[in-house]
Structure 1
Amino acid sequence: MAHEIGDEDIDAIFAVNLKSGFVASQEFAKKLIELERPGKIINIGSMTSFLGMYNVSAYAASKGGVLQMTKAFSNELAAKGIQVNCICPGYYKTPLTEDIIQDPEYNDFVLMRTPAMRWGEPKDLRGALIFLASPASDFVTGAPLIVDGGMLGK
């Protein structure tokens, strides 16, 4: 819960989810500008960039920050030919989620909230990544691309 999370945990979550993406985007943008080249920056947000959820307040805040960082960077870099966008996944099967997938109650909770009635798999992000990295997205910047099996549309 928000009132129980310690400073060290907050710092770690923000370092991994927000600061690392900020610094990586910043350094890549500097290099592109130095080389006078256009480019694409693709950040990873989350459905929690949009939804306030229980027991993940620091995570949600960090991912909300990723979305706002994406928008701010896009405003600053678009005139230099650099697009900055953000993919926002929903619930995905990964090594980090294996334990909660095995919890029948939590698994049912996810499936009931996801119109696709399944957990996403990393391969489900391919199309979004390819689109945002390709010339097809040359006029797309500052945008979240939600890949959540329909959860946010519900």
Structure 2
Amino acid sequence: MNEIKKLIFLLFAIFLFCYFFYLLDSNEILEIKHDGLKSFVYFGIIIFSFFSILFAFLSFEGIKLKVLFSFIPIIAFIQILNFGIINTLLNASSWKTQTIVYQNKFDDSKKVEFQMLDIGFAGYDKRTVEVNYITDWFFISKNKGIYNSDWKKINKEVNELELEY
């Protein structure tokens, strides 16, 4: 029985990891650039929220601990149901850089990029945003429209979606 509790605790820890990055990415606070990680987070939040609810009821005997540890998974599950399971799965793809429009002269991690998102049968969503890369897997984006002398125009074609045009 002790091994089962350890496994259930591991599933709960994976759920917390997925939920943390899901909240950051879905609210566009810290966006995930790596497709594998983003898919794991978005698919994991759906799967592990259910198992995390079971974690609370199987691991704890007191009603207070059951309620405390089932609160976050229930909130996550309600958020997913409110947004829609299909919409959550469709948002598992990440924004791809097509063109780097501007580069900051003083900080190489800051760029203005034209990005596209493959939204399936409906085509592509497009945006031009200022991005600040934390790592190759994470970036912070913001809509900014004025680019002064701190920026140099480079118009570098990246084509991460590998579109032919």
Q: What TM-score, normalized by structure 1, do the two folds share?
A: 0.28
Bigger fraction of residues in strand: 2
Q: Which has the greater radius of gyration? A: 2
Q: 1 or 2, which has the higher helix percentage?
A: 1
Q: Return the TM-score normalized by structure 2.
A: 0.27
